């Protein structure tokens, strides 16, 4: 059943493939890969805007996300990735303003969130996969077109007296840089806050040596030497690469094999997500290996829920299968965790779980008799806002629950759950056993334990109550409660930036009839409500 407000203009699946790229050129040359932006202005995902000056929409970012992921799995020999432009004089003008101006509020917020997650995947590849990203800005990099380089380890700017880096969202549009720019400038690049204040309110941006002196880029090169210097730097970083590693092709996940998604499950604002446990336990270095396949399917389902179905407020998560087979899979993951393919699988699982953490949906885990919320699937249960446990069901731990799949705060979900008793988190993970019924409740691994007599009625009432609450307040509530513990660059981006951007995207100063985003590109000037609150 499709809810009435499903956005059918978006792609059904969020998969793509290099053979279908329209806007990105991926070139692998030994140990160095080149990602070149060549956005086709008349190939936007929706009608009504042109993607001029390498500006991007969701379609462009889907290709970028796919390329980053494929480089990790299909080209593990690559040790350096250069992000640059195939168009002369411009790197990227950022997110297409006319696309944003004509999009719904929900789409704008989810677009920024997805784009941010792609930037974090780039940083994760540099930090954990040995694929260091550098940005070669051979032209103007503005707004999101500078936020993409900020996700790279190093940024180099052409010194042609025209090209600048800029974050002009505040002076031009009355909104914030939407994909972590403010946070990365001061937290990651450690630019002084007074210089950062000037930078983000200076619409024309900063050029050349000044950009380097302020810490906005790592180096500038004249036009005559730019390509040569970038090539030399990339080769120096990559060295000989990892020629001993042979890639694994990421085959399509359509149709889902291990997951079903039922929309309007007993209530128009409720979806049911059922995860099937493994039937085979043998290790295989392929895209069909259970943990890789099931988490790629989960990733696609989460994106479909975000973009296609904004009025689905609650996702009920169930599982079914043999817990012992899942334990065998987790044992393989743990024992082989230092092998590159298994490590990449674990890193993907981590990223998908983080996408669940940052989704503006309520999640209730229903652990029924016959469920298999063990180890890696127990992480999904622990990601939920509540765990309802049938008295004859259990939640089981494996070695994977002891920090191999951390949250954005850097802690495991068990540690985040037991911030007041970190030793308890360690003990539960070490025991690696299944906690059933009241034992699970006593251990703090279940929110509510119900017997067979009360299960149907109590679960139904909990679902109906949650579905009746204000979605705005629930989004704020969940974002506040899910990210307990240390604050990191990642939690700042999603806890602060996403909240502020969500608010600003609804304010008349930005999106009202006379708001800056609404009037962009027109001769009229915006009219602001000057009260600050």
Whether residue 4 has pLDDT greater than 50 = no
Alpha-helical runs (H) found in 179-322: 181-183, 193-200, 208-213, 226-238, 290-308
Asked whether residue 181 carries a pLDDT value surpassing 70, the answer given is: yes
Q: Residue 366's pLDDT is what?
A: 98
Q: What is the pLDDT of residues 103-113, one digit of tens each?
A: 999 999 999 99
d(CA 172, CA 149): 21
Tokens for 294, please give them.
């099931």
Within this chain, do residues 79 and 117 fall inside the same structural domain, yes or no? yes
Q: What is the pLDDT of residues 382-412, one digit of tens each?
A: 999 999 999 999 999 999 999 999 999 999 9
User: Does position 3 have pLDDT exceeding 50, yes or no?
Assistant: no
Mean local confidence (pLDDT), 432-456: 96
216-225, 350-359, 524-533: range with lowest mean pLDDT: 524-533
CB 42 within 8 Å of CB 59: no
Q: Is residue 488 part of a domain?
A: no
334 shares its domain with 209: no
CB neighbours (10 Å) of residue 9? 10
Q: What pLDDT was estimated at residue 500? A: 82
The answer to whether 63 and 22 have CB atoms below 8 angstroms apart is: yes
In a domain, 60, yes or no: yes
Is 458 within the bounds of a domain?
A: yes
264 and 228 housed in the same domain = no
Mean pLDDT, to the nearest integer, of 84-111? 94
Q: Which two tokens stand for residue 401?
A: 């629950």
Domain hosting residue 52, numbered range: 18-238
Average pLDDT (129-152) is: 98
374 forms beta bridges with 396
Q: Is the pLDDT of residue 1 over 50?
A: no
Quick one: 330 and 199 in the same domain? no
The helix, strand and coil proportions of the chain, stated in percent and rounded to the nearest 5, come to: 45, 15, 40
Query: CA 9, CA 17: separation in Å to the nearest integer?
Result: 20
Predicted local distance difference test score (pLDDT) of residue 6: 52
Q: Is the pLDDT of residue 7 over 80?
A: no
For the segment 502-508, the average pLDDT, to the nearest whole number, is 88
* 8-state DSSP, 186: I
C-beta contacts of 469-478 below 8 A and 24+ residues apart: 469/313, 471/311, 471/313, 471/360, 474/313, 474/362, 475/360, 475/502, 478/360, 478/362, 478/385
Answer whether residue 501 shows pLDDT above 90. Answer: no
pLDDT band at 13 (very low <50, low <70, confident <90, very high): confident
Inside any domain, residue 169: yes
C-alpha closest to that of 111 among 164, 46, 47: 46
> 148-171 burial, b for 16+ CB within 10 Å, e for fewer?
bbbbbbbbbbbbbeebbbbbbbbe
Q: Do the domain assignments include residue 484? A: no
Domain end position, chosen among 208, 238, 268:
238
How many whole angstroms separate alpha carbon 50 and alpha carbon 44? 7
Q: Is residue 187 part of a domain?
A: yes
228 is written with which tokens?
A: 């040569």
**pLDDT higher than threshold 50 for residue 79:** yes
Instruction: Tell me, yes or no, whether 193 and 66 share the same domain.
Output: yes
pLDDT in tens, 300-312: 999 999 999 999 9
Examine the domain organization and report whether 399 and 454 are in the same domain. Answer: yes
Mean pLDDT of 516-524: 91
Q: What mean pLDDT, rounded, does the chain reach?
A: 94
Separation between Cα atoms, residue 412 and residue 405, nearest integer Å: 6
96, 149 in Cβ contact below 8 A? Answer: no
Structural domains counted in the chain: 2
> Is 35 a member of any domain?
yes
Burial class of residue 322 in the structure, from the number of CB atoms within 10 Å of its CB (0-12 exposed, 13-18 middle, 19+ buried): middle
Q: What percent of the chain has pLDDT over 90?
A: 89
What is the average per-residue pLDDT within 313-339? Answer: 97
For 361-432, list the strands marked E by DSSP.
362-367, 386-390, 394-396
Scanning 130-188, the segments in alpha helix (DSSP H) are 144-150, 169-173, 181-183
Query: Which CA distances in Å does 161 have to 144, 218, 398?
Result: 21, 17, 57
User: Which phi-psi region, left, alpha or beta, contains residue 451 (left: φ > 0; alpha: ψ -120 to 50)?
Assistant: beta
| DSSP letter assigned to residue 270 | E
Q: Are 166 and 274 found together in one domain?
A: no
Omega cis (within 30) before 358? no
Range with top average pLDDT, 29-43, 260-274, 492-506: 29-43
Task: For residues 277 and 213, state if they share a domain.
Answer: no
* 226 shares its domain with 318: no
Provide the token pair at 221: 């090169």
Asked if residue 267 and residue 233 are part of one domain, the reply reads no
- Whole-number Å distance between alpha carbons of 32 and 231: 9
Where would I find the H helices in 214-272?
Answer: 226-238
- Say if residue 174 is in the same domain as residue 320: no
Backbone dihedral region for residue 510 (phi beyond 0: left; psi -120 to 50: alpha; all else: beta): alpha
CATH number at residue 186: 3.90.226.10
Q: Which pLDDT value is given to residue 266?
A: 80
Q: Does 497 have pLDDT greater than 80?
A: no
195 and 290 assigned to the same domain: no
Average pLDDT value for residue range 273-278: 98
Distance CA 505, CA 527 (A): 16
User: 453-467: per-residue pLDDT in tens?
Assistant: 999 999 999 999 999
Residue 485 included in any domain: no
3-state secondary structure of 385: coil
pLDDT grade, residue 130 (50/70/90)? very high
> Would you give the DSSP letter of residue 103?
S
């Amino acid at each position: 059943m499709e809810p009435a407000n499903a956005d059918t203009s978006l792609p059904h699946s969020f998969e793509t493939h290099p053979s279908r790229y329209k806007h990105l050129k991926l070139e692998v040359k030994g140990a160095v890969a080149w990602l070149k932006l060549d956005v086709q202005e008349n190939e936007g995902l929706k009608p009504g805007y042109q993607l001029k000056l390498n500006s991007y929409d969701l379609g462009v970012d889907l290709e970028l996300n796919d390329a980053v992921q494929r480089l990790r799995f299909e080209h593990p020999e690559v040790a350096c990735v250069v992000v640059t432009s195939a168009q002369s004089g411009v790197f990227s003008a950022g997110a297409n303003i006319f696309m944003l101006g004509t999009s719904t509020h929900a789409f704008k917020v989810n677009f920024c969130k997805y784009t941010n997650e792609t930037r974090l995947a780039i940083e994760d590849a540099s930090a954990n996969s040995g694929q260091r990203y550098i940005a070669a800005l051979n032209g103007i990099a503005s707004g999101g077109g500078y936020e993409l380089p900020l996700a790279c380890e190093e940024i180099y700017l052409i010194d042609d007296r025209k090209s600048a880096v800029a974050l002009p969202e505040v002076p031009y549009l009355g909104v914030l840089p939407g994909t972590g720019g403010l946070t990365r400038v001061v937290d990651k690049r450690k630019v002084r806050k007074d210089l950062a204040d000037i930078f983000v309110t200076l619409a024309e941006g900063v050029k050349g040596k000044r950009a380097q002196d302020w810490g906005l880029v790592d180096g500038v090169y004249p036009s005559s030497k730019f390509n040569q210097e970038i090539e030399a730097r990339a080769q120096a970083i990559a060295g000989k690469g990892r020629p001993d590693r042979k890639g694994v092709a990421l085959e399509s996940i359509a149709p889902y094999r291990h997951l079903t998604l039922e929309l309007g499950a007993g209530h128009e604002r409720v979806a049911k997500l059922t995860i099937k446990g493994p039937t085979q336990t043998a290790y295989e270095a392929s895209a069909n290996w259970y943990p890789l396949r099931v988490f790629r399917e989960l990733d696609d389902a989460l994106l479909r829920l975000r973009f296609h179905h904004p009025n689905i407020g609650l996702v009920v998560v169930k599982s079914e299968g043999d817990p012992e087979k899942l334990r065998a899979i987790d044992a393989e993951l743990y024992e082989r965790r230092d092998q590159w393919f298994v490590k990449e699988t674990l890193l993907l699982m981590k990223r998908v779980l983080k996408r669940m953490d940052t989704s503006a949906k309520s999640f209730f885990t229903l652990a029924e008799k016959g469920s298999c919320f063990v180890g890696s699937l127990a992480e999904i249960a622990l990601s939920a806002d509540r765990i309802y446990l049938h008295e004859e069901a259990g939640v089981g731990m494996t070695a994977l629950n002891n920090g191999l799949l951390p949250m954005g705060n850097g802690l495991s979900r068990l540690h985040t759950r037991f911030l007041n008793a970190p030793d308890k988190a360690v003990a539960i993970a070490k025991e690696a056993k299944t906690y059933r019924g009241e034992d699970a409740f006593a251990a703090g691994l279940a929110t509510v334990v119900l017997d067979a007599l009360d299960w149907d009625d109590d679960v139904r009432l909990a679902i109906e109550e949650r579905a009746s609450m204000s979605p705005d307040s629930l989004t704020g509530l969940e974002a506040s409660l899910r990210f307990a513990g240390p604050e990191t660059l990642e939690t700042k981006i999603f806890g602060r930036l996403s909240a502020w951007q969500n608010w600003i995207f609804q304010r008349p100063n930005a999106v009202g009839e006379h708001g800056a985003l609404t009037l962009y590109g027109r001769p009229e000037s915006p009219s602001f409500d000057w009260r600050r609150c």
